[in-house]
Amino acid sequence: MDTYKIIATPQASSGQAQDSCKILTLNAGGIGTASGSGQCW
């Protein structure tokens, strides 16, 4: 079985730095998580 993890990190010098979701991850099973708060997925 193939496995992977995609990580999206907000860039400090952009408007993304203020996003409430912070760091988003998505794994091969389709499970998404966020290190911040709010409705991120």
Pull the structure tokens for residue 34.
Answer: 């966020």
For the chain, the structural domain boundaries read 1-10+21-35
Q: What is the pLDDT of residues 11-26, one digit of tens each?
A: 888 888 888 999 999 9
Q: Are 26 and 5 in contact (CB under 8 A)?
A: yes
Q: Which pTM was predicted? A: 0.75
Complete edge-to-edge strand list for the sheet that includes strand 24-27: 5-8, 24-27, 32-34
- Winning range, highest mean pLDDT, from 1-5, 8-12, 30-34: 30-34
Candidates 9, 13, 11; CA nearest to 26 is: 9
Tokens 């091969």 correspond to 28
